[in-house]
Amino acid sequence: MAAGSQEGVGFMPTVIEAQTRIPEGKNANRRIRMSGKIPAVIYGAGKEPVVLSLVPGDIKAIMRSEAGQNTIFTVDIEGIGQRSAMVKDYQLNPVKGNLIHVDLLEIAMDRLLILMVNVELVGEPQGVKIDGGTLDFVTRAIEIECMPADIPESIKLEVDALRANDYIRVKDVNLGDKIRIITEPDVVIATIAPPKKEASSSETAADAAEPEVIKKGKTE
């Protein structure tokens, strides 16, 4: 079995600038996009949502980072101040695929946060290299609870030692005392399926002969 490791955290000291705007419908949003920005909204617990406009490249850089959507960054809102946030949701143009809208979630750095973190498998299993089996990556993300500053960029699991019919379950993952795993402990993350058995020459011959026996019986 393999244990997990915490690879950094999802907090990066990135500051992006944003401006408040008045929600005026699709035409206003179109004008914002033509100016090189995109409409956005930031939500916070117990706070009224604030509608914004910001540069899409800033968000795309965050999404391409190691932590991706779990990255915590700072939004500097003109006239309001700075807030810690994560990307909650986003919209892409269905034809061009470019970013056209983003929802941000304000993060309280002193409160626990529940989120999904991607799992990465590291190494080449013995069960594949030696036994001829197949690696089956079943569960690709695990739900955790931790403080925002302790969010791992990903959960890396070593799979070199796995042989045919071995598996890794959630209960085999160790992320330390600062992170609580919420996903059920018996959930399988990865397993090595054994190679399929090839039929012997005698079995193949028997299978080939069987239709002839049936055919002869019908003729008689």
**125-145: pLDDT as tens digits:** 999 999 999 999 999 999 999
Residue 14 has pLDDT above 70, yes or no: yes
**Tokens linked to 127:** 């069960």
pLDDT of residue 28: 87
Edge-to-edge, what's the strand order for the sheet holding 4-6? 4-6, 155-158, 113-122, 141-146, 180-181
pTM of the predicted model as reported, rounded to 2 decimal places: 0.74
Residues 71, 104 contacting (CB under 8 angstroms): no
CATH of 113-193 given 2.60.40.10, 2.170.120.20, 3.40.50.720, 3.30.2270.10: 2.170.120.20
Identity of the residue numbered 51: V
How far does CA 157 lie from the centroid of its chain? 15
- Angstrom distance (rounded) from CA 177 to CA 25: 47
Question: How confident is the model over 81-108, as pLDDT tens digits?
Answer: 999 999 999 999 999 999 999 999 999 9
Same fold, 10-106 and 113-193: no
Domain coordinates in residue numbering, the chain: 10-106, 113-193
- Helical residues (DSSP H) of 106-200, grouped into ranges: 126-129
Identity of the residue numbered 27: N
Measuring CA to CA, which residue among 21, 14, 18 is closest to residue 78? 18
Domain covering 10-106 assigned CATH 2.40.240.10 in the classification: yes
Mean pLDDT of 70-74: 93
pLDDT of residue 27: 85
Mean pLDDT of 158-175: 96
